[in-house]
A and B are shown apart, each in its own frame.
Chain A
């Protein structure tokens, strides 16, 4: 029973354009949301997070949006760069230790 879903397994975007990654969750008790980035043969690395008291959090080129009523969050990367090509995981949980992860979206940034 997947509580966090990333319905797009892959995304291809032109360098310089915006990448939008989407994530849906089912558990209304989830209070903490994160995005992780993963390169091949490496573990995921933390990218950005948002708590339920906010609806937007920005860090440089990365912005996470949270819509609690829709149980939906998204990650915007603008402008996209070739180094952004990776697998992106959405994670959510009632706290910061018991996180549920989506299956990931593979982003390819075309030069």
Chain B
């Protein structure tokens, strides 16, 4: 595809339910990133993939959050037992890898936990 795509664009869920967010990076991009943006705040780094491996998971806020990547392509971010404080826009980005390559962002998934 031409750019990074994310689905769904909007997700409303009830507290306690699990959600799965999907990211399709730009074809050929080896590195993939997940960020979270809460209302009025900057982007928070969550996790980084190089290929299918995640060398840095330090940003995941709790063990309810997990992510995987397969085929050096699609990634899913899973949030279990959602809480109201999980409400945010979740952004995915990808790069060719290597140093100092700017990240290309998807449009984000807006998650609302009621």
Which residues in A have some Cβ–Cβ distance to B below 8 Å?
2, 4, 6, 32, 34, 36, 41-46, 49, 51, 89, 91, 95-104
Contacts and interface: CB of A to CB of B under 8 A. Distances in A.
Nearest to A99: B45
Contacts of A102: 42
Given A97-B33, A98-B56, A46 B104 contact: yes
Given A44-B91, A45-B104, A46-B102, 8 more contacts: A34-B102, A41-B107, A43-B107, A44-B43, A97-B31, A99-B43, A101-B42, A101-B44
A46 B103 contact: yes
B100 A45 contact: no
27 contacts: A6-B42, A34-B102, A43-B93, A43-B105, A43-B106, A43-B107, A44-B105, A45-B104, A46-B102, A46-B104, A49-B100, A49-B102, A51-B100, A96-B95, A96-B99, A96-B100, A96-B102, A97-B31, A97-B48, A98-B56, A99-B43, A99-B45, A100-B45, A101-B35, A101-B43, A102-B42, A103-B40
B70 interface: no
Nearest to A102: B42
B100 A42 contact: no
Contacts of B4: 43
B67 to A, nearest CB: 15
B48 A95 contact: no
B41 interface: yes
A2 B107 contact: no
B42 A2 contact: yes
Nearest to A3: B42
A95 B102 CA distance: 11
